[in-house]
Structures are given as structure tokens and as C-alpha cells.
Structure 1
Amino acid sequence: MEGTSLYLPIVILLMQCSPSSPVTVSSNRHKVEVREFSDAVLSCMFHTERDQNPRIEWKKKGKGVSFVYFDGQFKGPFEGRASIEGATVTLQRVTQDDAGEYRCEISAPLDSVNLGETNVTLKVLVPPHTPSCEIPSGAVTGSVVQLRCRDQQSIPPATYSWYKDGQQISPPRHTNATYLINARIGILEFKSVAKEDTGRYSCLASNGVGPPKMCEGKRMTIEDVNVSAVVAAVVVVCLVILICGCGGYLLHRNGFFSRELLLSNVNYIPPPQESTDFKHTQSFML
């Protein structure tokens, strides 16, 4: 007993001097991904040293820092569509405006370390929308043709596949293929179109969030170059040039464009007209 009583003050002193756990803040999910118009849970858990009633704040980072939850109330666009349990916040029917980085802050004035924080990133996923498609109605054989497809709203960005007459066009398997497909930016390019490329084309956008969406199909017709029409047009142009040249030559030969004729026409001054009252004036003077 005497030995125990000797060590007891030392044990008590060590307990008083041992550091206590200050305020700590953590999250069990630092990256949250939810579909648009669904609820998002932003987790925040904390432990305090002595303060049993710490101050809880949520802020959103952007161009500046705005309050989400402050002084026991939700602020701004979150008012009326968010709830809190402990320090964990649930945002209801999130949109793209809600996406971003959030910070949970716990302030415990009675603790030795009186401030702790953790960050949670919210990503709002958007299913594909009907893509806009640029499909030419026609082209001539041998020309380079591009078909374009784009969905500006899907998150993450959509990937694209092309269809001809309802059948998916497979990506080319070798470098000598007559066409290329860029699934990331939605381009189908024909290096040299042929008549067999004629058909009804459409594009499908997908990103794994919601059901894929396809644009309305459009027919593209490939035709051969009309050689007869081209030759006829060239002949007509040559005849017009020949006729104009011959006509100009004949006019020049007949002196129509001579320098003397042009100068005489420019410098010609008509003679003054005689006064109709000349005789009357003379008789008056006599």
C-alpha cells in the first residue's frame, strides 16, 4: 500500500499533463457524384476536446466564398431545400449550379485547437441530351466529307457512335480505311466518298449516366461528277470569250476605239447659236 501511495501522485500528474484530443473534422466521402435533380449528402463528422456546443458552418468555394449554412440557418439558394443532421448536410434536387467544392468548418472556442475543417467536392452528373447533327444532303464522288455530332450538356462529356440505315458503323480496323470515326468529338470523316456511301445517317450520344440519345437521321446522297455538263460549260465559256474577242477586234479595226476619234469626241465644242433678234436690233440702230 505504501508503494502504491507513493506512485499515485505521479500517475495523477501524468494524466493532467497528457495532451487531450483537440477538435477534429473529417468526412467519409470527399467526392460526391449524383445525378441532376437528385439529393446529395455532404458528410461532415467532428470530435471536440471539451466544447460540447461547437459552431457549425458550411461554405461553398467559387470565385469567392459564400455561406451555405451559418448561424443555424441555410443561406441563399439552399434556404428551404437543404437539411442538416449533426454536421452532415443534405442538398435536395441539385442542379449544375450546386456543383463545386464545399467546406465544413467546426469552431470550438473552449478547445486548445479551436478550429477544424474538411472539404467535399460535389459533381452533378447530367444524362445525354439529343445531340445536334450536321449531315450534308449530298456530295460528289471522290470528295472529302465530314459528318458532325455534338451534345453540349452531358456530364461527363458524351461519346458518339454513327449509324447508317439503322446499322452501327464499326470503327475502322486498319489505316487504309476510307473513313475515320472520332468517338470523343463526334466526327465521321470520309476521305473519298463513293456512291455506296449514300444512305441515311444518324448519331448516338451516351455517357453512362442516363439512356443514350440519338439525333434524327438525314439522308446523304453521293453522285458522280457530270462530265458532260462540265465539258458543255467549258465550251460555252470559250465561245463567249471568242465572240467577245472577235467583236472587239472588228470594232478596233474599224477605228471605233481610235485615239483621234475619242479625243475629237471629248474636245468637241458646239458653235454658238445666232441670236434670233439680230435683224431687229440692226434695223433699230439704223
Structure 2
Amino acid sequence: MEGTFLYLPFVILLMQCSPSVPVTVSTNKHKVEVEEFSDAELSCTFRTEKDRNPRIEWKKKGKDVSFVYFDGHFRGPFEGRATIEGATVTLQKVTQEDAGEYRCEISAPFDSVSLGETNVTLKVLVPPQIPSCEIPSGAVTGSVVQLRCRDQQSIPPATYSWFKDNQQIHPPRHANATYLINSLTGILEFKAVAKEDTGRYSCLATNGVGLPKMCEGKHMTIEDVNVSAVVAAVVVVCLVVVICGCGGFLLHRNGFFSPGHRGRSNVNYIPPPQEPQDFKHTQSFML
């Protein structure tokens, strides 16, 4: 017992001489990812040296730094849709406008270091929407055909899979394949379509957030080139050219386009006879 009392003054001295820790601020999660329209927790914890009532502020970085929480109240678009516990903020029903970088600031004027801060980045995830699909209704064999699929709203960007008659079209395994699939751009390209490529095509978009979405299927028909129709059209065009050429030659041969032919209509021109009244008037003038 007496030994304990002997050590007590040394313990008190050590406690008084131990260095105090100035204000420190930290977070347990620097990057927060939540789905759109759900709640997001932005954590912020702090420890002060002396100040027991530090000032807590939250700001959002952008083109301009704006206040989220200041002077004990939420500001701007966060008013009425955010709560704070300690220094940790919870944003309710976040949207894309809430995404960005946030900063938690703790001011302790009585500490040797009076300001501490930490940053939290919020990313708002958007599940796939029904993609827009460009699928031609028809094409001829041997032609190059592209089918396009795109979802502009999903975050992170969606990847795409193509289906023919409800069966997935897998990426080709060799370089000589007749088609190519780009899962990032959503393009299905046929180097030279064949009749067996006829079918109903659809595209599925997925990004790991929410449920995948598929566009409505559309039927694409591949037909052979109508050689007979092409030959007949060429023959008709050739006949028209020959007939026009022969007609022009005959007209030119008969002098239709010569200057003399254009002026013949005026060779036998006879002026109209004068009226009797005009003749009498002239005769009386001579007298």
C-alpha cells in the first residue's frame, strides 16, 4: 500500500508531461458508392486537444465550393433531406446531382492546431435503362451490316450482349468468324451476312447495378440479290440510251439542229395587207 503511494506522484507527473494530441479528423470510408434514390452516409470522426465544442462544417467541392452543413444547419438543396450525428452526415434519396467530393472540417480554436479536415467522394450508381437498339429490317446477302445497342444513362457504363431468337450470340473464338461483337460499344457487325442470319435480334444491357434491361426484339430478313431484276434494269437503261442516241443522230442528219433549218420559217414571210381605210388616207395625203 505504501509502495502505491510512492509511485502515485510519478504517474501524475507523467500524465501532465505527456504531449496532448491536437484536433484530428478522419473518415472510415473515403469513397462511398450508393444506388440512386437510396441514402448515403458520409462518415466523419474527430478528436480535439482541449476544445470540447468544436465547430463542424461540411462543404461540397465543384466549380465553386458550397456549404452543405454550416452553423448548425443544412444549406441549399440539402435542407430537409439530410441528418447529422456527431460529425457524420446522412444524405437521403441521393441523385446524380449529389455525386461529387465532400469535405468535413472541424475547427477547434483552443487547440494548438485549430483546423482539421477529411474528404469523402460520393458516387451515385444508376442501373441500366432499356437500351436503344438499331436493327435493320432487311439486307442482301454478302453485305456488311451493323446492329447497334446503347444505354446513355447507366453508371457505371453498361456492357452489352446480343441475342438471336432468344439465344445469346457468343463472341467469336477465331479470327475468321463472319461477325464481331463489341460488348463495350454494343455493336454487332456482320462482315458478310448470309440467309441463315435471318432472325429476331435483341440486346441486353447490364452494369452490375439493379436488374439488366433488354430492348424489344426486331426481325431482320436477309435475302439474295435478284440477279434477274438487276439484269433487266441494265438492259432497259441501255435500250433507252441507244434509242435516245439514234433519235438524236437522225434529227441531226436531217438538219433539224442546223442554223438554216431554224431560219427557214421566215423565208416566205408575207406582210399582212393594209386596211382600205389606211390606203385612202394615204391617197388623200398625196393629193
Same fold per superposition (TM over 0.5): yes
User: Which residue in the other structure is 1:21 paired with?
Assistant: 21
Q: Deviations over 1:237-257 (max 9, x none)?
A: 000000000000000000001
Q: Does 1:258 align with 2:267?
A: no
Unaligned 5+ runs, structure 2: 1-5
Q: Does 1:130 align with 2:130?
A: yes
Q: 1:1-150 to 2 correspondence within 5 Å?
A: 15=16, 19-150=19-150
Q: Which letter does structure 1 place at the counterpart of 2:224?
A: D
User: Which residue in the other structure is 2:170 paired with?
Assistant: 170
> How much has 1:213 moved relative to structure 2?
0.6
Distance in 1 (alpha carbons) for counterparts of 2:145 and 2:52: 70
Q: 1:237-248 to 2 correspondence within 5 Å?
A: 237-248=237-248
Distance in 1 (alpha carbons) for counterparts of 2:174 and 2:154: 31
User: Which residue in the other structure is 1:158 paired with?
Assistant: 158
Q: Which letter does structure 1 place at the counterpart of 2:115?
A: L
Shift in alpha-carbon separation, 1:71–1:237, aligned structure 2, 3 A: same
SS in 2 for 1:235: helix
Shift in alpha-carbon separation, 1:284–1:104, aligned structure 2, 3 A: same
Distance in 2 (alpha carbons) for counterparts of 1:96 and 1:266: 84
User: Which residue in the other structure is 1:192 paired with?
Assistant: 192
Q: Deviations over 1:98-131 (max 9, x none)?
A: 0110000111111111111100000111111110
> How much has 1:267 moved relative to structure 2?
9.8
User: Which residue in the other structure is 2:3 paired with?
Assistant: none
Percent sequence identity over aligned pairs? 77
> How much has 1:272 moved relative to structure 2?
6.9
> How much has 1:271 moved relative to structure 2?
7.9
SS in 1 for 2:111: coil
Shift in alpha-carbon separation, 1:253–1:103, aligned structure 2, 3 A: same
Distance in 1 (alpha carbons) for counterparts of 2:127 and 2:15: 60
Count of residue correspondences: 278
Shift in alpha-carbon separation, 1:13–1:198, aligned structure 2, 3 A: closer
Shift in alpha-carbon separation, 1:182–1:266, aligned structure 2, 3 A: farther
> How much has 1:19 moved relative to structure 2?
3.9
Q: Which letter does structure 2 place at the counterpart of 1:115?
A: L
Distance in 2 (alpha carbons) for counterparts of 1:218 and 1:266: 68
Give the TM-score, by structure 1 length: 0.91
Q: Deviations over 1:182-227 (max 9, x none)?
A: 0011010000000000000000001111111100000000000000
Distance in 2 (alpha carbons) for counterparts of 1:93 and 1:278: 105
Q: Which letter does structure 2 place at the counterpart of 1:193?
A: V
User: Which residue in the other structure is 2:236 paired with?
Assistant: 236
> How much has 1:179 moved relative to structure 2?
0.4
Distance in 2 (alpha carbons) for counterparts of 1:46 and 1:57: 12
Q: 1:206-221 to 2 correspondence within 5 Å?
A: 206-221=206-221
Q: Does 1:181 align with 2:158?
A: no
Distance in 2 (alpha carbons) for counterparts of 1:186 and 1:178: 17
Q: Does 1:202 align with 2:202?
A: yes
> How much has 1:274 moved relative to structure 2?
6.4
Q: Deviations over 1:13-46 (max 9, x none)?
A: 9945x54211110000000001111100000001
Q: Which letter does structure 1 place at the counterpart of 2:146?
A: Q
> How much has 1:273 moved relative to structure 2?
5.8
Give the TM-score, by structure 2 length: 0.91
Distance in 2 (alpha carbons) for counterparts of 1:112 and 1:266: 117
